[in-house]
Structures are given as structure tokens and as C-alpha cells.
Amino acid sequence: MSLWTDPQTPANLRPVREPIASSRVVIIGGGVVGCAIFRRLAIAGLQPILVEAAADILDGASKGNSALLHTGFDAPENSIELACVQAGYREYMAIKHKLNLPLVESGALVVAWDEEQFAKLPAIVERAHRNGVTDVMQIERDELRKREPFLSDRALGAVLIPGEHIIDPWSAPLAYAHQGLAHGGRILRRCRVTGGELDGQRWMLQTTLGDIAADVVINAAGNYGDLVEAINRESPFTITPRKGQFVVFDKPASKLLHAIILPVPTERSKGIVACRTAFGNLLVGPTAEDQQDRSRAEVDQATLERLIAKGIEMIPGLADHSVNAIYAGLRPATQFKDYQIAVDRQRRWVTVGGIRSTGLTAALGIAQMVGRDFAEAFDGVRDEEPIWTPVPNLAEDRARPYLTEAGGDVVCHCELVTRSEIEAALAGPLPAGDLGGLKRRTRCMMGRCQGFYCSAQVFALAEGRLAS
Amino acid sequence: MTHKSDVLILGGGPAGLSCARALRGLGVHNAVLLERESALGGIPRHCGHVGFGLREFGRICSGPDYAKRLADQAAGTDLRLRMTALKLEPGGLVRTTGPNGPEDFQAKAVVLAFGARETPRSARLISGSRPFGVMNTGALQQFVYLHGKCPFQRPVVIGSELVAFSTLLTLRHVGIKPLAIIEENERITAREPGTWVARLGFGVPVLTRTRLIRIIGRDKVTGIEIDRGLGSEEMECDGVILTGKFRPETALIAPSHLEIDAGTRGPSIDPYFRCSDHNYFAAGNMLRGIETAGQCWREGRAVAEMVIAELENRLPAREPDAHVTLQGPLAYVYPQRIYRDAPDHPLLFKARVSRAVRGRLSVVVDGKVVWSRRISALPERRIAWRLPNRDMRSCQQVSVEVDAA
Ligand SMILES: Cc1cc2nc3c(=O)[nH]c(=O)nc-3n(C[C@H](O)[C@H](O)[C@H](O)COP(=O)(O)OP(=O)(O)OC[C@H]3O[C@@H](n4cnc5c(N)ncnc54)[C@H](O)[C@@H]3O)c2cc1C
Ligand SMILES: Cc1cc2nc3c(=O)[nH]c(=O)nc-3n(C[C@H](O)[C@H](O)[C@H](O)COP(=O)(O)OP(=O)(O)OC[C@H]3O[C@@H](n4cnc5c(N)ncnc54)[C@H](O)[C@@H]3O)c2cc1C
């Protein structure tokens, strides 16, 4: 049956092209935001299609972040961001067990390193309270030392945010994607949207895989958000990717910290953070560097050295620890502070853009917002009974297969990834699309040796089973 | 249940295997060796070229051949494969996992022989993108010799330690000539034959005084930026092999109770190869990064003798009398933990300088020079010397000093 039968346009004027797929809703972009929306709309029974340009999901901004679950204590008051961060936080807490997602309950400390910063602490507490994060409080230097004995004694005091925590940046969106698939959604990878027309009631999107028809399109294209937006309208926002570089220290360094150490924030960014990771490392970053390139996030030695020096300044003991990994991520920043979320019911287009530096947390909240809008706009949109799709645990604070599984056959020795974990990541409804995807699903090759011991074996296992 | 034995050897490379064999020769019949890979032999398993065994077997053989011989010689010991040591606890208790899931082992003497590995791109803080195609020699060799694959056609080789020539041999095995060898210093690090091999044997240009400043390519390497002192230049290539800069595999030691030496980056040892917990010994590249397989093999044997001495309570049980301190351009000295009485054997020191130096090397004990000699040394050469027993009749402070002339 042709999906092109639209009463307003004579059939003989239409191109004779069949769409390769069609759905009530197509989401452009498989970052954490796209994945969370995909999940929400799939649970709502809309059978969405998610299209992702890269070989695998999570190849954009969502590839490299700090993996903090934010409370919104420092978010701009009355912003969409604050609302989404807090809704996202609550939903993450509610569903994490069912999806087997980790939570490292670290809390955070905004540390003042000089008198000027110290003077700003009370305002941080006040803002937090106005934002509804009422357990935030200032703590004395002695209390800080008790909590963080390895922190430099230059610290003058801190604000404690008990609710800021650490999560796994990849397993969460992966779990959302899996749940969306379980509810009848589809994910098309290596599918870049290159254009589209609204034809009365339907969008016809041109993609590198062929045309895709949709009643509604959701733009969640991250660092390409303004370019994708131009398919529908002149984009009201312009993306200038803001790069953040990181240094990850080897696991033994993680014993030097308990809480997330945040700086007193400036206007531009949240500043350099030191925290543990869910995988048991210690991370220092990110920087905030504007750039034009939307896909390449390069590291540079001078900056990495500065980050290491900064880390040692905060935590002198770090000097004895070695670097495991270096990476950089690109924040989809716009000229505006707040998220760029808009619903154009007439043109059947939803914009979810400029989700700059809190999207990992806010994604579920953003998805709720989009989902509510669909429920209002369309009849019969009703949640199905959720099907839970727990993902394999990669976090260090809970048992991993190498310890639980009889026959644990370790392939990646540094991260202790077993053969069966790798096999599992290469199979199932959303197998790894490329090496990066395999690493994000299992952590293989991501440890201190960076593949010295295991890369050839990982490749042999993945041979012919990855898209690239 | 905890598996108990007199000796537990961790790591089945040249050091661990020679230790296992020597222990049997010395009458220890309940040693257990754990190796996390599915085959014994350690690094030589995937060094498909010749260059091993002259000392041990009186003939030159290839790495895999050498690995097999070592494994054959160790037969008779309880050798267990796919067993990963996870955690070292005080008193010789070792937590592991393997085909039967988690298991605990405990021994009076645990020999650490985890080897060493090259410093990866990340820890070198190299600028640029992070595409596929940047790897160490160890990984390349596994691709080539264990899996018959080569991940690139036109790579460049970074560094000119001896292992860089192992890289050349590995590439030649699959018919690939790298575009260049890039070395920061003004001369090749490996001994002269290296230059010769590279220039004549392979026709690979060696760019000295050249720095790798950036890696280019989003998904795959497409080029690098280098600086030969004239500003940055781009060079097209499809792979980057980072060679050398070995460091001991201290994954289990760093989080453990054992003391690590800032110089060697391996565990601090006493003249008997014991770590700061006398239930633990260390051998091979674990001690200080790369030496030849033959050297590691001999260390494994030496450790076996010390293990016997420990089992027979012939070694001092107390804390060491002094910790060696360094002065001058020294990268490291071991042993680091010194006793004034060194029964059975003279004190054998090994060291490396941190830069090329000519000058005097001395051992100063409690303020008195007890030994010294002139040296002309390069960072990549091992310096070794023996200190006769009598020189150490008392000691509170031991310092090893290099005075550059
Ligand atoms: C350095 C850094 C630190 C951060 N720290 C945190 C933190 O601690 N906590 C937190 O909550 N958040 C954090 N964030 C923010 C968070 O990572 C982002 O907000 C989030 O990843 C944005 O997700 P997204 O889905 O909007 O964008 P993306 O992840 O970029 O997803 C967009 C996707 O769309 C695809 N795409 C683009 N164009 C097309 C097209 N034409 N057709 C098909 N597909 C297309 C892209 O390939 C991409 O995969 C951080 C971000 C950075 C960079
Ligand atoms: C590319 C390359 C080329 C070389 N070429 C030569 C040459 O031509 N001639 C020469 O003489 N030397 C050569 N060498 C040096 C030689 O290979 C090493 O000196 C020697 O292998 C070191 O022996 P080892 O036993 O100390 O460590 P390794 O050989 O590294 O063995 C360590 C073993 O311990 C195991 N292990 C590590 N951690 C654990 C754990 N947690 N649990 C269980 N097991 C573990 C490892 O799997 C490994 O098998 C080369 C080295 C390299 C890297």
C-alpha cells in the first residue's frame, strides 16, 4: 500500500518513491535525549522510529560526559532545564533498579579554594534551596577534611549537595533504547537525515538509507540540532559545540575521593570537576572550549597537562597515580542558556535542542515533557504496561560477571570483561554497531593498557559482527 | 575454600616459568602457577621473530618457540591457565577468578611475575583525535602473530627503543614497510645495530629530533602532525605504533599493601627479591620495566633460590635496615630495601641513569663512600655492580649517587 495517498495532492505529481519505513513519530538522533524520548513514546504505544547517523547510538555529545546525576541545585531558576533535570533525576531514581542501572551515592561538594569563592558559598546554598534542593548546606573546613581527607588543605569550606551522584553514562541511554525496542520501537543506525518535506499531514524525511515517512518529527540531533532544524524552519538557535576534555586516572586513585568535587561555578561552565566514576576510576575535567567542528573532539597535551596539574592541586595524592584514559566530549551549546524545546503542532515538528551540559540527567525529564505533549495532541496515547529490559552491569560497586559467573573467561584483563559479556554486546536487539559501541557496552579496551593485551582478541571476537 | 601451597607463582612468562622450573629442581613440589591467558609464555608468545633463548638454550629461537620450550621445562608444576589474580592480601592470600569462578589461594611465598607493558597513547597525553589505528607493539604483535591480521598498511613507528625493531620485524612479516620511525631524541635509543637494521635492512627512514604532536582522523587514522624543529608538518599515514616506554604491570600492586618504588614503578624489593610483605617476591619485568627475556628468565631462577631460603627461615624477618635513596641523574636503583647482613651472597645492585652521563657512581653508607667507579652511561643501558658483604657491616642510610663530571 502506498503511504503517499494524500487527498490534497494529485498522485501523478508525486515522486514514485516508496518510503523504507514509516511511523507516527520519527526521532532524529540517538543520543541520550533521543533514546529517552524513544523509550517514553514507545511505552506510550506510538511505535517510534529512532534514526541515528552514526554506526551506533551515543556517538555524539552523549559519548563523552562527566556522568553526574544532577539535582539541579545550581540550575537557572525557573528554567526548562531545571524542571527537566529534576524530573529526570526523580525518574532515574525510580527506574534504575528495574533497568539494572548503577548509582554511586557520592554526594557533591562545591569547594571554595580562596576567600572570594568562600564568600559565594551562602548564595549557592540559597539558590539550591530556591530550586527545591533543600538538603544542601554549607559545611566547615573541619567537616570537609573529615569527609575528604585527601583533599588539599587549602580548601576553606564547602557546600554539601547530598543528592548529586555518579552514574554510568552509556548503560543508562542503552537501557532506554532497549526498553523502547521492547515496546515496539525501531532503531535505524547509519541513517542520516539529509532533508525532508511536510506534505500536508506527513513528513517525508530523506535519509542515507532511503525515505522515511512520519506524522511527527522530533529533532534531537545534538550538535547538529540547528542544521536538522533547518529542515523545518530557519533555526532560531545556532549550535557552537563546546568541548570538554577529561583525564581519567587509574582505579587505585579512586580511593582519594568520596564526593564529587565541584568548583564554585562561573557563568560559562560548571568548571573543572574531580570525581570517581561508576567504573571505579577517578576523573578530572571537563574544560569548556568553543569550536566550530561538530563531530571531532580532539584532546591536546597542554590542556591535559593542565587538568592533571589542577587535579593534583585539589588532591595532592593524585601525583602518584597514572593516567588511564583521555577523552573529550562536545556540548551542544547555543547562544541561549536554556534548553531549546519547542512543539510546532501545525508543522508536526518537535525541537529538542541545545541540551548542553545536563542532558544525561535531564533526558528522562525531557522525554516526559515531550510525552505529555503527545498525549494532549493525539487521541488514544496511553502507557502500556512497562516491559523492563535490564542491562548488564558495568559498575564497579556491584558484582560483575567475572566474579559471579562460573567459567568467567576474562578477555580484557584491565577492566575484567569476560568473553560472554563481549558476545552478549555483539548480539541481541541492538548489537554494537562499531568498536566504540562495543567498548561503551562492555568497557573492553578502556582500561590502563588501552588494548595492549586484549585488542587483537576483541577484534577476533567481533570480526564480521560489527558494522565497521 | 582456600587453596594452600608453599609457593604460588603469578604470571606464566619467562620469569614465572623459569622460577617454576627452578623450584622443582630445588625440590619444591607443591608450587602452583597461575596464568591469565589461555597459553603460557608471556610476551614471547606473540614475538614471532627470532631473538630469544641464546642464554637459556644455547641457540637463538623465535618467541613462540622459546615460550613453548619454557612451558615444557616447567611441566610438572601445577600450571593453571585462564586464572586471573585479582587481589593481593597481606600474608600471601591471593584472590583470583577463572574457569571455576572466584577462588582464593594462599602460599608462604607468592612470586609476582606480571611483566611489563608499553605506555599507551592516553598516558602519553598525545594530542589529537582518538581514532582506531593507534596501538602499542604488544597489540600489533597479537594481531599479526596470533590472529594473522594487520590493522594498517602505512603506519609510522614512534620511538626507537629496541622494541621498535621488533615492530619492524613484525610488520615485515606481513609485508609492510612503515613510512618512518620517529624519535624525539637526537639519536636512536637502541644500540647501533638498530640504526643499521632500520636503514639498510628495511630502508625505513629514521626521523630523529622529531616530535609527534597530533593524531588526525575521526574513525581511522588518516595522518599525523610532526615537528622536526621547523614547525608542524602533516604526514599521511593509516596507523601509529607507539613503542617502548615500558612500565611494570602493577595493576594489583598499586591498590595492595605492597610498597611501590617511585623510580622503578615496580614493587620495592630487598636483596632477596622480597617485597615489603615478606610473603611476596617479585621477578622479571615486574621489577622495573623492560629487560631481555633472558634476563627475566635468570631473575626467575634467582628468585626460586631466595624462596627456598625464605621457606627455610634463612632470611632476615625484620624490617630492612635502610631504604636506598638516589642522588643525581638516576632513574632507579634496586634493590631498594637493604639489610646490613646479606647472607649467602654479595649485594647486587641494578640501576639506570635518567640521561646520558659521564661521571662517578658511588654507594654511600652512613656518610662514607664504600664503593665507587667511573661510568659513562646511557639511559637505555643497565648498570649492575656488586657490593661485597663487608662493606655493609652497619647501615642506617644508604644512598646511590651519580656525580656528573
Ligand atoms: C564535557 C561534557 C560533560 C557533561 N557532563 C554531564 C553530566 O555530568 N551530567 C549530565 O547530566 N550531563 C552532562 N553533559 C551533558 C550531556 O552529555 C548532553 O546534554 C547530552 O549528551 C546531549 O544529548 P543529545 O541526545 O541531545 O545529543 P547527542 O548525544 O549529540 O545526540 C545527537 C545524535 O544525533 C545524531 N544526529 C545528528 N544529526 C543527525 C542527522 N541528520 N540524522 C541522524 N542522526 C543525526 C548524532 O550522530 C548524535 O548521535 C555533559 C556534556 C559534555 C560534553
Ligand atoms: C614487542 C616485544 C618484543 C620483544 N623482543 C624480545 C627479543 O627479541 N628478545 C628478548 O630477549 N626479549 C624481547 N622482549 C622482552 C621479553 O619479551 C620480556 O622481557 C619478557 O617476556 C619478560 O618476561 P616476564 O615473565 O617478566 O613478563 P611477561 O612475558 O610479560 O609475562 C607476564 C605474564 O603474566 C601474566 N599475568 C599478568 N597479570 C596477571 C594476573 N593478574 N593474573 C595472572 N597472570 C597474569 C601475563 O598474562 C603474562 O603471561 C620483547 C618484548 C616485547 C614487548
State pLDDT tens for residues A89-141.
999 999 999 999 999 999 999 999 999 999 999 999 999 999 999 999 999 99
Q: How many beta carbons lie within 10 A of that of residue A277, not counting itself? A: 24
Interface contact B86-A416, CB threshold 8 A: yes
| DSSP label of A268 | S
The answer on B173 and B66 residing in a single domain is: no
pLDDT-derived band at B72 (thresholds 50, 70, 90) equals very high
The alpha carbon of residue A274 is apart from the nearest alpha carbon of chain B, in Å, by 18
The answer on A224 and A172 residing in a single domain is: yes
Cell of B17: 616459568
The answer on B249 and B111 residing in a single domain is: yes
CB B36 within 8 A of CB B96: no
Residue A1: the pLDDT is: 29
The answer on A448 and A309 residing in a single domain is: no
The answer on A119 and A168 residing in a single domain is: no
Q: Does A1 touch chain B (CB under 8 A)?
A: no
Closest CA to A249 of A282, A216, A221: A282
Residue corresponding to grid cell 588511564: A324
Whether A468 maps to a domain, the answer reads no
Best A291, A295, A299 residue to mutate vs chain B (most B CBs within 10 Å) = A299
Q: Give the contacts of A53 (CB within 8 A, at least 6 positions apart).
A: A59, A190, A191, A192, A193, A208, A224
Q: Letter for the amino acid at A351?
A: T
CATH of the domain at A271: 3.30.9.10
Among A164-168, A312-316, B368-372, the minimum mean pLDDT is found in B368-372
The answer on B353 and B334 residing in a single domain is: yes
The answer on B274 and B236 residing in a single domain is: no
The answer on A282 and A198 residing in a single domain is: no
Q: Give the contacts of A200 (CB within 8 A, at least 6 positions apart).
A: A6, A8, A9
Residue range B295-316: mean pLDDT, rounded: 96
Ligand nearest to the CA of B40: 2
Closest CA to B116 of A454, A452, A457: A452
Burial track B68-105 (b if 16+ CB lie within 10 A, e otherwise):
bbbbebbeebebbebbbbbebeeebbbbbbbeeebbeb
Residue B194: the pLDDT is: 56
The answer on A326 and A347 residing in a single domain is: no
The answer on B124 and B230 residing in a single domain is: yes
The answer on A72 and A10 residing in a single domain is: yes
What domain range includes position B396? 320-405
Q: Which residues of A touch B42 (CB under 8 A)?
A: none
Whether A467 maps to a domain, the answer reads no
CATH of the domain at B402: 2.60.40
Closest CA to A81 of A352, A271, A331: A352
| Ligand 2 contact via B14 beta carbon (within 6 Å) | yes
Cell of B386: 656488586
pLDDT digits 0-9 by tens, A329-345:
999 999 999 999 999 99
Residue B357: the pLDDT is: 94
Whether A289 maps to a domain, the answer reads yes
| DSSP label of A390 | P
CATH of the domain at B66: 3.50.50.60
The answer on A193 and A75 residing in a single domain is: yes
Domain boundary among A311, A331, A351: A331
CB A4 within 8 A of CB A11: yes
The alpha carbon of residue B221 is apart from the nearest alpha carbon of chain A, in Å, by 13
Q: Does A299 touch chain B (CB under 8 A)?
A: yes
Domain boundary among A358, A373, A395: A395
- Give me the interface pTM, i.e. the ipTM: 0.93
CB A146 within 8 A of CB A298: no
Residue corresponding to grid cell 597479537: B142
Q: Distance between CA atoms of B311 and B315, rounded to whole angstroms?
A: 9
pLDDT-derived band at A10 (thresholds 50, 70, 90) equals very low
The answer on B330 and B291 residing in a single domain is: no
pLDDT digits 0-9 by tens, A153-207:
999 999 999 999 999 999 999 999 999 999 999 999 999 999 999 988 899 999 9
pLDDT digits 0-9 by tens, A264-303:
987 666 789 999 999 999 999 999 999 999 999 999 999 9
pLDDT digits 0-9 by tens, B260-272:
999 999 999 999 9
The answer on B282 and B189 residing in a single domain is: no
The answer on B352 and B249 residing in a single domain is: no
The answer on B306 and B262 residing in a single domain is: yes
- Alpha carbon separation from A257 to A79, A278, B251 (Å, rounded): 32, 13, 19
Domain boundary among A347, A375, A395: A395
The number of domains in chain A is 3
The answer on B76 and B144 residing in a single domain is: no
The answer on A383 and A294 residing in a single domain is: no
Q: Which residues of B touch A324 (CB under 8 A)?
A: 122-123
What domain range includes position A8? 1-103+164-235+336-395
Whether A231 maps to a domain, the answer reads yes
The answer on B230 and B269 residing in a single domain is: no
Domain boundary among B294, B315, B336: B315
The answer on A150 and A117 residing in a single domain is: yes
Residue A12: the pLDDT is: 46
pLDDT-derived band at B162 (thresholds 50, 70, 90) equals confident
Q: How many beta carbons lie within 10 A of that of residue A453, not counting itself? A: 24
The answer on A75 and A12 residing in a single domain is: yes
- Alpha carbon separation from B140 to A453, B143, B169 (Å, rounded): 10, 5, 11
Residue A189: the pLDDT is: 98
Q: Distance between CA atoms of B334 and B402, rounded to whole angstroms?
A: 15
The answer on A78 and A3 residing in a single domain is: yes
Q: Which helix (H) or strand (E) holds A166?
A: strand A165-166
The answer on A199 and A84 residing in a single domain is: yes
Residue A266: the pLDDT is: 75
The number of domains in chain B is 3
The answer on B213 and B109 residing in a single domain is: no
Q: Does A325 touch chain B (CB under 8 A)?
A: yes
Q: Per DSSP, what are the bridge partners of residue B279?
A: none
CB A67 within 8 A of CB A166: yes
